[in-house]
Structure 1
Amino acid sequence: MTQVFKFGGASIQDAAAIRRLGELLARFRVRPLVVVVSAMGKTTNALEALLAAARDGEADDYRDRLESLRREHLATVEALFGANAGPVAERVEALITELDRRHRRHAGRERPFHYDQTVCFGELLSTTIVSAWLNEVGMATEWLDARELVATDDCHQAANVDWAATAERVRGLDSDDGRIRVTQGFVGGTAEGVSTTLGREGSDFSAAILAHCLDAEEVTIWKDVPGLFNADPRRFDNAVQLERISYDEAIELAWHGAKVIHPKTLRPLQRKAIPLTVRSFQDLEAPPSTIGRDTRFDTRTPSLMLREAQTLLEIRPRDFAFMDEPRQHDILGRLVEAGLHAGLIDSGAMRLSLCLDGHPERLEPLVASLCDDFAVERHDNLALLTVRHGNEALLSALSSGRDSLAERRNADTAQRLFPGDQCQGTWHIPY
């Protein structure tokens, strides 16, 4: 059965990293194998800055950024191939020329459309180099254009997958002719051949899409960490690895802000019971983490998510009426339109409380809209702690010395909101 590997930007950020990728793949002789690759390093950020320069009419800035992008990729090609760099360099040059041409052609189009025609080149460039390198070191590959594989609608920057059309397009990729199929993450295409992108965590999602349509045996996402943890190791000094959790548990953790796999990646895998494994490309001997159907391990270890820079809105009807279903429907509809996620929702007879990520460009228009029709009390610079499968002693210890401003809990999950200045520094989990 087919295996799907996904490599992010950190795993191919330069020539040395691409060499390590080749060495890694040489150790895995599984076939059929589909390899999904992101853009190199911070290339997507560079392309977004290039797009801004193009749309702002900053001609000199645009040319400088385009040339920097060209030089960086050609330097990687030179470092990898040396005297044999010519053919690969020509393909890279051709892609940069096409990127420039598209900017000129689409300069007057709406930004989401222009964005997708620009940012997709990060993955096109990286996979061109990676595929050529694998061939160079003796691994036969077939480079595939994800815009011709992943069929989507024309909702640019957040395209929706046409699953039936995609399944038809990828038919045959699971044939075992010894070649590794290399394609791009994050990228799709409409029926008319227009480039689209899949939105947040799009490269992981690409791997899941292909796995679903190919009835793959497994998806492996290669990261610079050994697996999934029960808390952010940068904030919790004794976080532990979760070696096995279920799809549902991983989705719950992601919903509450954990840096795990995005729910949209997990859902198509869950539908066909395809396990997802997270492994370290830096330490192949480190035990991985696997997400699958087995729920036996979900409650063994408490998981903690700390979301900072939160804003609490306490919303009340001005006429002292009840916060009934029509009013809640109105408020939550505005939240959807603003593109904001409420990490905590609590309601009373005359109150609805929302804890939101503090994105000023989205939050401020929402608050202004709500203030037109409701009495709104606002609290900024807060931190939301979510604990899954914790007990009262754990919650009490974590809350000690902190003022709880709001709380919500059910059988599996407890949430408490604290002033942000009381949540600085490193936390310790009292298991």
Structure 2
Amino acid sequence: MTQVFKFGGASIQDAAAIRRLGKLLARFPARPLIVVVSAMGKTTNALEALLAEARNGKTADYHDRLETLRRDHLSTVETLFGAKAGPVAERVEALVNELDQLHRQHASRDRPFHYDQTVGFGELLSTTIVSAWLHEAGMATAWRDARELVVTDDCHQAANIDWETTAKRVRGLAADDGRIRVTQGFIGSTSEGVMTTLGREGSDFSAAILAHCLEAEEVTIWKDVPGLFNADPRRFDNAVQLERISYDEAVELAWHGAKVIHPKTLGPLQQKSIPLTVRSFEDLEAPPSTIGRDTRFDTQTPSLVLRDEQTLLEIRPRDFAFMDEPRQHDILGRLVEAGLHANLIDAGAMRLSLCLDGHPERLEPLITSLCTDYAVVRHEDLTLLTIRHADDALLAALSSGRDSLAERGNADTAQRLFPSTQCQGTWHIPG
């Protein structure tokens, strides 16, 4: 059965990391194996900055950034291959030169289109280097261009998959000829061959697309942590690993802001009952976390999510009328038009409260619009606590000493909104 491995930027950030990747893959001889690779390290951020320079006409800054990109990748090639670096370095040079030409060609086009023609070069560069290194390390590999595999529409920066055509194109990846297929995450192309990108968490999504089309046995996402946790270990001193959760539970956690797997990645896997495993590339012996159909473990451990920089809007009709369905429909419609998502919604007879991420460029026009028809009270600098599967004692302990500005709850999820000044420092989950 086909296996799909996905490696993010941290796992291939430099020559030492790519060598470690080679040693890791050598421990998994089973084939067919498809390896989906992100851009190296912070390359996508660097490419986005390069895009900005290309569009604002700052030629000197643009060339400085382009040369830094070229130099960093060539340095990795030279460290890996030494005297044999020539052929790989030539391919890297060719890709950087092509990127430069595309920036010149598309700088006057709409930003989403320009973005998609250029930012995906991070994955093309990384897979060129990784594939060559695996070959050098004695593993038979085949480099495949994801733009020839993943077919999408032309919704740039958030392309939608043409599943039927994509399935036809990726079938050959499962050929059991002993070679590892190395391909790119994040990118695809239209049926006309115009490059597209898949949006947030695009590389994880790429792995899920291929696994879905090939009905793979499993997808493994390799990270610098051993798995998924019930809370952010940077905020909670006693967070514990969730070794098994269901697709539904993972989606709930992601919806509430947990840094788990994005729902668009889980959807294609859930449809084919393909488990997703998160493992540590730094410690292969560490127990992984697995997301699958089994729901038995979802309620065993409460999960907690903190979202900072929240804004609470308390919205009331000016005429002392009910906050009825037509008014709620009007307000939520404006929220959709602003491109915002409510992390908490709480309604009363004459009030609708919305907790929103603090995006000033989107939030301010929304508030201006609402103030024309409603009385709006605004509270800023807040932190939203969401707890899955909490009992009353846990909720009370975590709320103690904090002033709740808004609350929501159901059988599975409780939410409390506190001033951020009361949420600083390390949290502890009462046992």
TM category, shorter: over 0.9
* Equivalent residue number for residue 181 of structure 1: 181
Task: Report the Cα distance in structure 2 between the residues aligned to 1:322 and 1:116, rounded to whole angstroms.
Answer: 47
Encode CA deviations 1:242-270: one digit per residue, 9 max, x unaligned. Answer: 00000000100111111100111101100
* Equivalent residue number for residue 11 of structure 1: 11
Encode CA deviations 1:326-380: one digit per residue, 9 max, x unaligned. Answer: 2222222222222222110111222111101111122112212212222111100
The question of 1:395 aligning with 2:395 is answered yes
My pick for the range that moved more, 365-374 or 180-189, is: 365-374
* Equivalent residue number for residue 171 of structure 1: 171
* Equivalent residue number for residue 329 of structure 2: 329
Tell me by how many angstroms 1:221 deviates: 0.2
Task: Report the Cα distance in structure 1 between the residues aligned to 2:166 and 2:67, rounded to whole angstroms.
Answer: 35
Task: Report the Cα distance in structure 1 between the residues aligned to 2:321 and 2:162, rounded to whole angstroms.
Answer: 45
The question of 1:309 aligning with 2:309 is answered yes
The question of 1:385 aligning with 2:377 is answered no
Aligned partner letter, 1:269: L
Within a 5 Å distance, the mapping from 1:95-244 to structure 2 comes to 95-244=95-244
Aligned partner letter, 1:197: T
Task: Report the Cα distance in structure 1 between the residues aligned to 2:162 and 2:329, rounded to whole angstroms.
Answer: 30
Task: Give the 3-state SS of the residue equivalent to 2:151 in structure 1.
Answer: coil
Task: Give the 3-state SS of the residue equivalent to 1:343 in structure 2.
Answer: strand
Task: Give the 3-state SS of the residue equivalent to 2:319 in structure 1.
Answer: coil
Task: Give the 3-state SS of the residue equivalent to 1:173 in structure 2.
Answer: helix
* Equivalent residue number for residue 404 of structure 1: 404
RMSD: 0.8
Tell me by how many angstroms 1:320 deviates: 2.5
Task: Report the Cα distance in structure 2 between the residues aligned to 1:174 and 1:70, rounded to whole angstroms.
Answer: 33
Tell me by how many angstroms 1:325 deviates: 2.0
Tell me by how many angstroms 1:168 deviates: 1.1
Aligned partner letter, 1:115: Y
Encode CA deviations 1:40-63: one digit per residue, 9 max, x unaligned. Answer: 000000000000001000000000
Task: Report the Cα distance in structure 2 between the residues aligned to 1:113 and 1:327, rounded to whole angstroms.
Answer: 37
Aligned partner letter, 1:165: T
Task: Give the 3-state SS of the residue equivalent to 1:91 in structure 2.
Answer: helix
Within a 5 Å distance, the mapping from 1:65-104 to structure 2 comes to 65-104=65-104
Task: Report the Cα distance in structure 2 between the residues aligned to 1:71 and 1:235, rounded to whole angstroms.
Answer: 37
Aligned partner letter, 1:210: L
Tell me by how many angstroms 1:228 deviates: 0.2
Encode CA deviations 1:276-328: one digit per residue, 9 max, x unaligned. Answer: 00000000000000000111100000000011110001111222232222222
* Equivalent residue number for residue 290 of structure 1: 290
Task: Report the Cα distance in structure 2 between the residues aligned to 1:102 and 1:326, rounded to whole angstroms.
Answer: 49
The two structures have a TM-score, normalised by structure 2, of 0.99
Number of matched residues?
Answer: 431
Aligned partner letter, 1:138: G
* Equivalent residue number for residue 23 of structure 2: 23
* Equivalent residue number for residue 252 of structure 2: 252
Aligned partner letter, 2:336: V
Task: Report the Cα distance in structure 1 between the residues aligned to 2:3 and 2:194, rounded to whole angstroms.
Answer: 28
Task: Give the 3-state SS of the residue equivalent to 2:72 in structure 1.
Answer: helix
Aligned partner letter, 1:13: Q
My pick for the range that moved more, 364-373 or 204-213, is: 364-373
* Equivalent residue number for residue 413 of structure 1: 413
Aligned partner letter, 1:247: Y
Aligned partner letter, 1:267: G
Task: Report the Cα distance in structure 1 between the residues aligned to 2:89 and 2:413, rounded to whole angstroms.
Answer: 53
Within a 5 Å distance, the mapping from 1:268-283 to structure 2 comes to 268-283=268-283
Task: Report the Cα distance in structure 2 between the residues aligned to 1:186 and 1:117, rounded to whole angstroms.
Answer: 12
Tell me by how many angstroms 1:135 deviates: 0.5
* Equivalent residue number for residue 264 of structure 1: 264
Give unpaired runs (5+ residues) of structure 1: none
Aligned partner letter, 1:114: H
Task: Report the Cα distance in structure 2 between the residues aligned to 1:217 and 1:39, rounded to whole angstroms.
Answer: 25
Give unpaired runs (5+ residues) of structure 2: none
* Equivalent residue number for residue 357 of structure 1: 357
My pick for the range that moved more, 313-322 or 250-259, is: 313-322
Task: Report the Cα distance in structure 2 between the residues aligned to 1:365 and 1:398, rounded to whole angstroms.
Answer: 35
* Equivalent residue number for residue 375 of structure 1: 375
Task: Report the Cα distance in structure 2 between the residues aligned to 1:316 and 1:322, rounded to whole angstroms.
Answer: 9
My pick for the range that moved more, 65-74 or 311-320, is: 311-320
- Identity percentage over the alignment? 84
Task: Report the Cα distance in structure 1 between the residues aligned to 2:334 and 2:70, rounded to whole angstroms.
Answer: 43
Aligned partner letter, 1:75: S
* Equivalent residue number for residue 341 of structure 1: 341
* Equivalent residue number for residue 300 of structure 1: 300
Task: Give the 3-state SS of the residue equivalent to 1:172 in structure 2.
Answer: helix
Tell me by how many angstroms 1:382 deviates: 0.4
* Equivalent residue number for residue 425 of structure 2: 425
Aligned partner letter, 2:13: Q
Task: Give the 3-state SS of the residue equivalent to 1:166 in structure 2.
Answer: helix
Tell me by how many angstroms 1:402 deviates: 0.4
